[in-house]
Chains A and B, each alone.
Chain A
């Protein structure tokens, strides 16, 4: 009689990597829908092109690395990367731009380093930065939100996707652009002058950020990741903007609320810096990692030369993650000094 010999434990919880990835995708939905509401169907063309390009690239890389393609595709990690990249790009981006970004993310940032689990840098952010540096013009053309100008039609978005000259959208500077380029106007005047600003931080942007926040909070509640990194980042960003907020002079960097709800803040806090592979390991490490990202985001937004800063901040901190890990190793059981009162 042959009995199976297996090492303990013999029991496994049901949750798998694909389930984690699917929940992340699900949590992105509110943000995607809100974004589509304000920027139109270009959000979807972005997503479709990015997913197709990423999955194709992933398949080719897996084939080259002699891995079973279908089984590995099923972990949905390529799709998550593609969706994050697509959401970071301006809607109505041409297909070639998105494809180059996806290739950089999947091929360069992920598979060159050994595939899922081995990448030192966040793949989506590598893709984004490659594009931002290579194609600054295309990367900063954000369509005006629907409440300020009519959204392009679905036909327009297709034209935009194939890169046709016939597509000509109304683009507008984002609130983050305006603040950075502002010289001379008081905050209140800025708000009055430009319709983009909306209530707190920009028409559309405030809602989009709130939607990503909601999805992120759900993921924390689902225990997909812990609260440490997002809270660290938002706290540091809030603290920095509060510290340097002078009530609204022309030199002001914007209020905490403005920074929390503009640009890619919430997307970054809950979906980018929570990437476990390229982030810090322990909970304390994650808190520090997040806080330093928040600090960098503020510095780059206000004093740097790029309007938004999440991608650069994340990549810079990816470099520092092993260093943070080294200093934040938790104290194991029995290593604490015995209670002083005992």
Chain B
């Protein structure tokens, strides 16, 4: 049995799990139209590989992963690509992004799958490739490309996250109860890929059936299925790691720094399907719950299904001034409209009644009661951060470690003055980021100016040197001419001059020119990266972004080549 540690803070909101966790997972109906965003994960959006008008089969790859920090996207059902266009997506700010829109034909005809029942004989790299190509991203909510996360050396502990600590959500609960064998296979694959000796499966003790099911499925394994006390946010990656190992992920580090990798239960199951059965990620289990939904429960939903279609299917009764939350009530975000599609990270759609989540209360002055600090899982002082965020004291915010805030919302949950604390922190983080971009811009401009200044000086010096040399040469020649008039061979003299020039150039220029070339390239890469970042933050078109990122990559390649060359030339001399 594994020891359970604890983490600082946390809250115990009403769980609201029973509304949706009693009925088995049902298949949601196939919508007439699927809106499939190219970016359902963290990282670069996938690149479309289909054309408008083309027929696609269920499971067919319609957009390829663009590099390692990306995953592929597949057609959730058969039909015709009717458009590849910008469409509003599930994003806290209601942004639009490129989506492939598929008119389904109702046949649900699938492309031939390539199962890998003999996956143990595959290279790790090949397995990671399959995971990326089958479009697996973290299904717990963050959507981090799984292959990228799993691709780390020296992992000794694999943590499987079945905590599901947010109220209302029961998708993982039902999954663990109903698909524990598949989960077990997924964990086996994950253990194989990471080479972890220890496997810890964390499940909150408010899901006894799920714990039982997973224990039964894994009873012949030496894995520990740990029942952890119900507390929000135990399911946060950092908190779960502390709960199960007693260690804290170093600030600004990742779990792999501790030799730990975390995967959500739904992700593990999807990986099993992707590798063993050759099934790409085209659907997920989503909890549909809240007072405004009559048929609450968990549904296997095709990715790309519009929320509106889904809600109509489950008897959504619209209340006045309604809000629809994607995700849980503590970290989820309200949807701008119902045309938004379900994506890989959509674990819950919550349609609360008017007073279900508590009535709107007027905010009051902060009395520094400190309840927020008591519940903060990052051990921050939210009350201080609030003052500093309000007064935009960025230095103080940094000194009070705003960057460590995981935006779990525990502080705002307990705040007796009903202050929108998390909103303040998000805004402050945004301001700080913007400021640092500006600062970097200024630094780049400065270094560019200095480089130019240095170049101009160097050029001037070179010109001066050339002029002086020429003068001296002319003088010498005049002397020579005077002495040996008529005896000189003009060809020989030209050769001599060329030699002299070459020697001069070698002396002054060579060492300099290599390093200055490198510097110039470095500056170019900086500039290109910066341009890309700016374009991303200002929401430029997809095309522009791809072009920019391509140019960054090209420049980086050039730079790497140049550096390698220089190292080669330097090494022998050392």
Residues of A within 8 A of B (CB): 1, 3-17, 19-20, 71, 75, 77, 115-118, 223, 225-226, 276-277, 279, 281-283, 325, 329-336, 338-339, 342
Residues of A close to B407: CB separation below 8 A: 8
Q: Beta-carbon contacts of B369-397 to A below 8 Å, as 1s and 0s?
A: 11101100111110110000000000000
Interface residues of B in 375-434 (CB under 8 A from A): 377-381, 383-384, 400-401, 404, 407, 409, 412-418, 420, 422-423, 426
Tell which of A5, A10, A13, A342 touches B94, judged by Cβ atoms closer than 8 Å: A5
Residues of A close to B423: CB separation below 8 A: 7
Contact B381 A282 (CB under 8 A): yes
Interface residues of B in 317-331 (CB under 8 A from A): 318, 321-325, 327, 329-331
Contact B94 A20 (CB under 8 A): no
Contact B337 A3 (CB under 8 A): yes
Contact A330 B381 (CB under 8 A): yes
Contact B412 A9 (CB under 8 A): yes
Chain A CB within 8 A of B539 CB: no
- Evaluate whether A276 and B367 lie within 8 angstroms (CB atoms) in the complex, with A7-B420, A11-B167, A334-B238 already known: yes
29 contacts between A and B (CB under 8 A): A1-B337, A1-B338, A3-B322, A7-B423, A8-B325, A8-B333, A8-B422, A9-B422, A10-B357, A12-B361, A16-B364, A16-B416, A17-B417, A19-B416, A20-B369, A20-B416, A116-B367, A117-B367, A223-B371, A226-B374, A277-B367, A281-B384, A282-B370, A283-B370, A331-B379, A333-B251, A333-B404, A334-B252, A338-B248
Q: Beta-carbon contacts of B1-43 to A below 8 Å, as 1s and 0s?
A: 0000001100101000000000000000000000000000000
- Evaluate whether A276 and B370 lie within 8 angstroms (CB atoms) in the complex, with A3-B334, A9-B330, A11-B167 already known: yes
**Residue from the set B8, B368, B404, B409 with the largest chain A CB neighbour count within 10 Å:** B368
Other contacts beyond A4-B334, A8-B407, A277-B367: 4, CB < 8 A = A12-B413, A16-B416, A283-B373, A334-B250
Residues of B close to A77: CB separation below 8 A: 367
Contact B324 A3 (CB under 8 A): yes
Q: Which residue of A lies closest to B242 (CB)?
A: A333
Chain A CB within 8 A of B560 CB: no
Contact A13 B413 (CB under 8 A): yes
Would you give the shortest CB distance from B341 to chain A, in whole angstroms?
A: 15
Q: Which residue of B lies closest to A71 (CB)?
A: B362
Residues of B close to A325: CB separation below 8 A: 384
Contact A7 B379 (CB under 8 A): no
Chain A CB within 8 A of B247 CB: yes
CA distance in complex: A20, B248 (Å): 34
Q: Beta-carbon contacts of B65-101 to A below 8 Å, as 1s and 0s?
A: 0000000000000000000000000001010000000
Would you give the shortest CB distance from B96 to chain A, in whole angstroms?
A: 16
Chain A CB within 8 A of B352 CB: yes
Tell which of A1, A276, A332 touches B379, judged by Cβ atoms closer than 8 Å: A332
Q: Which 5 A-B pairs have the closest CB atoms?
A: A9-B409, A117-B365, A4-B323, A334-B251, A7-B423
Interface residues of B in 523-538 (CB under 8 A from A): none
Contact A75 B13 (CB under 8 A): no
**Residue from the set A1, A3, A225, A226 with the largest chain B CB neighbour count within 10 Å:** A3
Contact B368 A276 (CB under 8 A): yes
- Evaluate whether A333 and B377 lie within 8 angstroms (CB atoms) in the complex, with A5-B94, A9-B422, A116-B367 already known: yes
Would you give the shortest CB distance from B302 to chain A, in whole angstroms?
A: 23
- Evaluate whether A13 and B370 lie within 8 angstroms (CB atoms) in the complex, with A3-B338, A5-B336, A333-B248 already known: no
Contact A339 B323 (CB under 8 A): no
Q: Which residue of B lies closest to A342 (CB)?
A: B247
Contact B365 A116 (CB under 8 A): yes
Residues of A close to B416: CB separation below 8 A: 15-17, 19-20
Tell which of B13, B251, B322 touches A13, judged by Cβ atoms closer than 8 Å: B13
**Residue from the set A225, A281, A283 with the largest chain B CB neighbour count within 10 Å:** A281
Contact B364 A334 (CB under 8 A): no
Would you give the shortest CB distance from B368 to chain A, in whole angstroms?
A: 4
Residues of A close to B415: CB separation below 8 A: 12
> How many A-B contacts at CB < 8 Å in the complex?
169
**Residue from the set B258, B318, B415 with the largest chain A CB neighbour count within 10 Å:** B415
Chain A CB within 8 A of B490 CB: no
Chain A CB within 8 A of B171 CB: no
Residues of B close to A5: CB separation below 8 A: 94, 323, 334, 336
Residues of B close to A8: CB separation below 8 A: 325, 327, 329-333, 407, 409, 422
- Evaluate whether A11 and B379 lie within 8 angstroms (CB atoms) in the complex, with A3-B324, A3-B335, A276-B367 already known: no
Q: Which residue of A lies closest to B94 (CB)?
A: A5
Residues of A close to B321: CB separation below 8 A: 4
CA distance in complex: A279, B417 (Å): 18
CA distance in complex: A329, B374 (Å): 13
CA distance in complex: A23, B325 (Å): 34
Residues of A close to B335: CB separation below 8 A: 3
Chain A CB within 8 A of B572 CB: no
Q: Which residue of B lies closest to A278 (CB)?
A: B368
Residues of B close to A14: CB separation below 8 A: 358
Tell which of B247, B249, B323, B412 touches A12, judged by Cβ atoms closer than 8 Å: B412
CA distance in complex: A151, B238 (Å): 63
Residues of B close to A116: CB separation below 8 A: 364-365, 367
Interface residues of B in 470-518 (CB under 8 A from A): none
Chain A CB within 8 A of B366 CB: yes
Chain A CB within 8 A of B315 CB: no
Residues of A close to B378: CB separation below 8 A: 332-334
Residues of A close to B253: CB separation below 8 A: 334
Contact B370 A11 (CB under 8 A): no
Would you give the shortest CB distance from B390 to chain A, in whole angstroms?
A: 11
Contact B381 A281 (CB under 8 A): yes
Chain A CB within 8 A of B561 CB: no
Tell which of B252, B330, B361, B400 touches A10, judged by Cβ atoms closer than 8 Å: B330
Q: Which residue of A lies closest to B378 (CB)?
A: A333
Would you give the shortest CB distance from A176 to chain B, in whole angstroms?
A: 31
**Residue from the set B238, B330, B367, B418 with the largest chain A CB neighbour count within 10 Å:** B367
Chain A CB within 8 A of B53 CB: no
Residues of B close to A282: CB separation below 8 A: 370, 373, 381
Chain A CB within 8 A of B246 CB: yes
